[in-house]
Amino acid sequence: MGCAAPPRSPRPFPSSAAPARSCCVVDAQGLLKSALAARCDSLLATDRHPRAVQAARERVRAESNVRVAQLTVPGQWPEGTFDLIVVSEFGYYLTPAEVGGMGRNIRASLS
C-alpha cells in the first residue's frame, strides 16, 4: 500500500527579486496568484470556468492590484503586454498546435 506525497507549498520569491510592473497568470486557480499579487504592481488572473473566476474574485477582492477575467486560452488571449506571464499546468490538455499558438501569444505579450 502506497501513500501520497504531502502537497508542496509554493516557494517564496527571493527578497532580492525585483517586483514586476505587470503580470498575467493563465489559470486563476492556484496559490501562485496570491504570491504574485504581492510582487506585481498589477496582476491579471484568467480562467475559462465561471465558478473558478468567481472563486478567484472572492479570494482577491481586497487586493486592488488584481483583476480576474474569464478567458478561454489559447483561443482568447488577454490584451496588453506583461513583464511576467505564468501558465498553469492546464497546458498538457492542449494540442501541439494550441501550445505553439500560445507560445506565439506569450512572446508577443511580453514587454
Q: What is the pLDDT of residue 56?
A: 87
**Rounded CA gap, 78 and 105, in Å?**
9
Q: What is the pLDDT of residue 35?
A: 76
Q: What is the pLDDT of residue 52?
A: 87
Neighbouring C-beta atoms of residue 37, cutoff 10 Å: 19
Q: Is 101 exposed, middle or buried (0-12, 13-18, 19+ CB in 10 A)?
A: middle
Q: What is the pLDDT of residue 28?
A: 65
Q: Where are the alpha helices (DSSP H) in 26-83?
A: 32-37, 50-60
Q: What is the pLDDT of residue 32?
A: 64
Per-residue pLDDT of the chain (111 residues; tens, 9 = 90+): 444 434 444 444 455 556 678 888 887 665 566 778 888 889 898 989 999 889 888 888 888 999 999 999 889 999 999 998 988 878 888 999 999 999 999 999 998
Please compute Rg for the chain using Cα positions: 15
What pairs with residue 7 in β-bridges? none
